[in-house]
Amino acid sequence: MPDARVSANDFSLMQIPGSRQVVTWAVNEKKMGTVRKFDITNMRIIARIDHVYPAGTAPLSEVSSSIRSRLSNDKKAEKIIAGLTTENLGSLDAYAAKMESKVDTVKFVNFTTRNITGLGFEPVLNAFSAYAPLNTLTPPTKGNMGVYVVNVLNRTQGTETYDAKAQKNLMQGSNAYMLQMQSIETLKNKLKVIDNRFVFF
């Protein structure tokens, strides 16, 4: 299997059932290069410690590749958008031909849709589905997985009536949960609590 990074509170190694013992050993083993064999259900794992990172913020060397990838994607999107904007294209087919892509249709998308079929999490498309003018091409816009040009063909208003009290209760419940989680982390930081759960499981 490829190299895997684990932290003390991971429940398993790469989602392999019963592999928590490998994680426990790894976070307690301080010597780099140490090797150990683990026999778990239908599998044998030979694990080796290649790096040990101290608690706290990840070193730049470990996150530089993901940062570089993100910045590279942003620059690519800027270049694509600039190139498409100067073309003054007038249809989705023209954009698709220029981008060497294809026109596709997604349905049942609203402002709160978390996952769009075939695309994943694309908040910009949620916003277009709710607020873009009908039958009008949007300008090329950067998303998480690419550059999109959208034409909203139809928008159906929901039939359910707005219940202000229910919405208020929903928001209060969500905020209460968020505040509860944040307050626990704040207290842990202020009281300098060290999380040693990994020692016991």
pLDDT in tens, the chain (201 residues): 678 888 888 888 888 988 999 999 998 888 889 999 999 888 999 999 998 888 778 788 878 888 999 999 999 999 999 999 999 899 999 999 998 999 999 988 888 788 888 889 999 999 999 899 999 999 999 999 999 999 999 998 777 777 888 889 888 988 998 898 899 889 988 998 887 777 676
Give the Cβ contact number of residue 125 at 10 Å: 22
Instruction: With respect to residue 188, please indicate whether it lies within any of the assigned structural domains.
Output: no
Instruction: With respect to residue 120, please indicate whether it lies within any of the assigned structural domains.
Output: yes
Global pTM value = 0.61
Instruction: With respect to residue 98, please indicate whether it lies within any of the assigned structural domains.
Output: yes
- pLDDT (0 to 100) of residue 68: 93
The C-alpha atoms of residue 87 and residue 94 are separated, in whole angstroms, by 10
Residue owning tokens 């981008």:
99
The C-alpha atoms of residue 114 and residue 126 are separated, in whole angstroms, by 9
* Strand bridging mode 147-148 / 35-40: unpaired
The phi and psi torsions of 122 (rounded to 5 degrees) equal -135, 85
Instruction: With respect to residue 175, please indicate whether it lies within any of the assigned structural domains.
Output: no
Report angle CA 105, 106, 110 to the nearest 5 degrees. Answer: 145
Instruction: With respect to residue 77, please indicate whether it lies within any of the assigned structural domains.
Output: yes
Partners of 35 in the β-ladder: 48
* Residues of the domain holding 120: 61-148
The C-alpha atoms of residue 21 and residue 196 are separated, in whole angstroms, by 16
Instruction: With respect to residue 168, please indicate whether it lies within any of the assigned structural domains.
Output: no
Instruction: With respect to residue 130, please indicate whether it lies within any of the assigned structural domains.
Output: yes
The C-alpha atoms of residue 8 and residue 179 are separated, in whole angstroms, by 25
- pLDDT (0 to 100) of residue 181: 86
**Nearest to 28, CA basis, from 58, 4, 12, 6:** 6
- pLDDT (0 to 100) of residue 9: 82
Domain count, the chain: 1
Instruction: With respect to residue 119, please indicate whether it lies within any of the assigned structural domains.
Output: yes
Structure tokens at 164: 């202000």
The Cα-based distances of 104 to 90, 95, 161 in angstroms read: 17, 12, 32
- pLDDT (0 to 100) of residue 3: 84
The C-alpha atoms of residue 182 and residue 118 are separated, in whole angstroms, by 34
